[in-house]
């Protein structure tokens, strides 16, 4: 990825426009750093098609302790697929969630790149962006690799998988909606985020 595009995507995904300052020390990951982080995310060495699913359903006790949280449940599907043209893996994300006080299913998706946060002990994360200035998310891992840490400022979402202007909205990070800890689960639990039949079959066999 070209450096200018990479930096813009990472800043949008992790920090938002308000944090796009000179003191944000982010760099593109080296090949070795990227491969090591990918093995942690996908729980294994690189392959031609990889998935990792993370889910959280917030219980009544958690929501009572976080009254400003808008999200009631969230799913994250990370994907990696080998691209024959570039001779490398391409990474993407699909996010699904339900609001606490609104009906319907909401989703988002986009592409991802590796980033290294030098101010956080050289922690490697995914920076994932939605096309056309749609914001994005940052994805890190817990130290035991059992949970994904999702960070967001703003990400464009659609209701009931309808990518049109009428259904388009944004999930904006608020007081209790900036960081989400999602648990690693069987990939089949993210099947609702996949619409292509062949990909759905591949997901269920991983």
Question: Considering its fold, how many domains does the chain have in total?
Answer: 1
Q: Which residue in 62, 68, 90, 93 sits closest to 78, CA to CA?
A: 93
- CB–CB of 115/28 below 8 Å? yes
Q: What pLDDT score does 12 carry? A: 53
Instruction: Give the tens place of pLDDT for each residue, 176-186.
Output: 889 999 999 99
**What's the rounded Cα separation, in Å, for the pair 37 and 50?**
13
Q: What pLDDT score does 1 carry? A: 46
Q: What pLDDT score does 119 carry? A: 67
Instruction: Give the tens place of pLDDT for each residue, 144-176.
Output: 999 999 999 899 999 876 655 555 688 998 888
- CB–CB of 136/13 below 8 Å? yes
Q: What pLDDT score does 137 carry? A: 93
Q: What pLDDT score does 164 carry? A: 55
Q: What is the pTM of this model?
A: 0.85
Residue with tokens 């796009």: 20
Averages of pLDDT over each 10 residues, the chain, 206 residues:
50 47 71 92 83 96 94 96 85 95 92 82 88 89 96 88 65 89 95 78 64
Contacts of 37 (CB under 8 A, 6+ apart): 29, 114, 124, 125, 126, 141
Dihedral angle over CA of 74, 80, 117, 152, nearest 10:
-20
Which domain covers residue 87, as residue numbers? 3-204
Contacts of 125 (CB under 8 A, 6+ apart): 14, 37, 114, 115, 116, 117, 138, 139, 140
């Amino acid at each position: 990825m070209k450096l200018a595009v990479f930096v813009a995507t990472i800043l949008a995904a992790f920090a938002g426009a308000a944090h796009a300052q000179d003191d944000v020390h982010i760099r593109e990951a080296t090949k070795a750093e990227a491969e090591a982080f990918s093995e942690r995310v996908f729980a294994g060495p690189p392959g031609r098609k990889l998935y990792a699913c993370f889910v959280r359903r917030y219980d009544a006790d958690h929501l009572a302790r976080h009254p400003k949280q808008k999200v009631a449940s969230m799913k994250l599907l990370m994907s990696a697929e080998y691209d024959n043209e570039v001779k490398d893996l391409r990474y993407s994300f699909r996010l699904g969630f339900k609001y606490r006080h609104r009906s319907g299913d909401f989703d988002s998706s986009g592409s991802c790149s590796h980033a290294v946060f030098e101010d956080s002990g050289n922690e490697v994360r995914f920076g994932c962006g939605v096309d056309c200035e749609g914001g994005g998310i940052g994805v890190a891992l817990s130290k035991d690799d059992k949970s994904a840490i999702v960070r967001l400022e703003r990400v464009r979402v659609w209701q009931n998988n309808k990518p049109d202007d009428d259904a388009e909205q944004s999930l904006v990070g608020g007081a209790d909606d900036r960081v989400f800890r999602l648990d690693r689960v069987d990939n089949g639990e993210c099947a609702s985020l996949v619409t292509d039949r062949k990909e759905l079959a591949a997901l269920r066999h991983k």
